Amino acid sequence: MGLKEDWKETGKGLGQAFAGLGKTLVRSAETTADKVVDWSEGEKPEETPGEALENAAASEKKATVYSDGSWRKTGKELGHAFAGLGKTLVKTAETGAEKVSDWAEGEKPEEGKKE
C-alpha cells in the first residue's frame, strides 16, 4: 500500500476514534447533568461514578457511560488509531529518508511520481 492509501486509512481510523470519543463525552456530560439536576432538587446522590462502576456488575440498574464499558472501548479505539498514525508517520519518514539519500547520491528525483 502506498503512502497516500496509508494516510487515507489513518485518517479514517482517527475520524472514527474521535467520533466515538465525542459520543462518549456527550453521554458523560448527560449523565453528570442528570446527577446535578437530581442534587439541585434535593435528592441525595445514590453513588459516585466510581461506585457506579463497582456496583454495575452486581446491579440491574440502567447502565451509564461510566459503567457500560464506553470509556474502555473509546480508549481502545483511540489507542489503535494513534498506533496507526505512528506507523504511517514512520513509513513516511522512511520513504522521505530514502529519497533524500538517493538525491544525495546524485540520483535525480522522478518528477510527478506519487506513491
Residue pLDDT, tens place only, 15-70: 999 999 999 999 888 888 887 888 788 777 666 666 665 665 555 556 677 778 88
The predicted structure's pLDDT at residue 22:
94
**Burial of 58 by CB count in 10 Å (0-12 exposed, 13-18 middle, 19+ buried)?**
exposed
Contact (CB, 8 A) for 101 and 94:
no
* Mean pLDDT of all residues belonging to the chain: 83
pLDDT-derived band at 111 (thresholds 50, 70, 90) equals low
Q: Are 68 and 24 in contact (CB under 8 A)?
A: no
Residue 21: predicted pLDDT:
94
- In the block, cell 505512528 appears at 86
- Contact present, 4 and 95 (Cβ < 8 Å): no
Pick the residue with more confidence: 63 or 9? 9
Please tell me the distance from the alpha carbon of residue 66 to that of residue 60, in angstroms, as a whole number: 15
Confidence of residue 110 (pLDDT cuts 50, 70, 90): low
**Whether the predicted pLDDT of 2 surpasses 80:** yes
Q: By C-alpha distance, which of 62, 74, 94 is closest to 22? A: 74
